């Protein structure tokens, strides 16, 4: 299994959106049986909550499922359990350093690192910007490029 964990601060806006969009792509490509896809937050404020209304509205508009998704906080054992940990911004990357992942085999990168000439280096936080459309645009591009990277690296036979 290829295990991918998306990370943001609250796990209600950006990383649940990325989780849903990435799962949608993986299903379209016919390789969902080869993936474990999850998301988590660095903060604990929203544990157990569904995605933010703005994230749900955007995913509903696009018929992208977020069924069953609930916020959880990143745990130290996630470093061992996942192959790819994908952060939304540099603050997440700085916060992730507390888990000393460098000694493990996990790849820890920002979503925008997978995009050629990205419009942004960081996925803006719509909890503060209120602009879920722009965040989605970046998340979609990032997830498509992340999937291309992983499918190439793991030689996946895709649709
Ligand atoms: P997210 O957005 O990291 O994209 O889920 C946030 C949601 C909530 C908070 C911060 C960011 N908060 O401070 O409660």
Ligand 1 pocket member 127 (CB < 6 A): yes
Max Cα distance, the chain (Å): 41
Of 13, 14, 23, 38, which is the active-site residue? 14
39 touches 69 (CB < 8 A): yes
Taking phi over 0 as left and psi of -120 to 50 as alpha, with beta for the rest, 86 belongs to beta
pTM of the model: 0.98
56 annotated active-site: no
Burial degree of 3 (CB within 10 A; 0-12, 13-18, 19+): middle
Query: CB neighbours (10 Å) of residue 121?
Result: 11
Q: What is the pLDDT of residues 62-119, one digit of tens each?
A: 999 999 999 999 999 999 999 999 999 999 999 999 999 988 999 999 999 999 999 9
Q: How confident is the model over 18-66, as pLDDT tens digits?
A: 999 999 999 999 999 999 999 999 999 999 999 999 999 999 999 999 9
Active site residue 23: no
Q: Cα–Cα distance between 58 and 54 in angstroms, integer?
A: 6
**Partners of 109 in the β-ladder:** 86
């Amino acid at each position: 299994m290829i295990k991918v964990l998306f990370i943001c601060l609250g796990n209600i806006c950006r990383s649940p959106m990325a989780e849903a969009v990435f799962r949608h792509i993986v299903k379209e490509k016919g390789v969902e049986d080869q993936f474990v896809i999850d998301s988590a937050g660095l903060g604990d404020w929203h544990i157990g909550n569904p995605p933010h209304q703005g994230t749900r509205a955007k995913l509903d508009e696009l018929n992208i499922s977020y069924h069953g998704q609930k916020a959880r906080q990143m745990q130290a054992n996630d470093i061992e359990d996942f192959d790819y940990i994908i952060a939304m911004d540099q603050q997440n990357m700085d916060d992730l350093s507390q888990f000393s992942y460098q000694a493990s085999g996990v790849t820890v990168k920002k979503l925008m690192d997978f995009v050629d000439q990205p419009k942004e280096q960081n996925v803006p936080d719509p909890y503060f910007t209120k602009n879920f459309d722009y965040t989605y645009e970046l998340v979609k591009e990032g997830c498509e490029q992340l999937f291309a990277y992983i499918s190439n690296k793991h030689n996946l036979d895709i649709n």
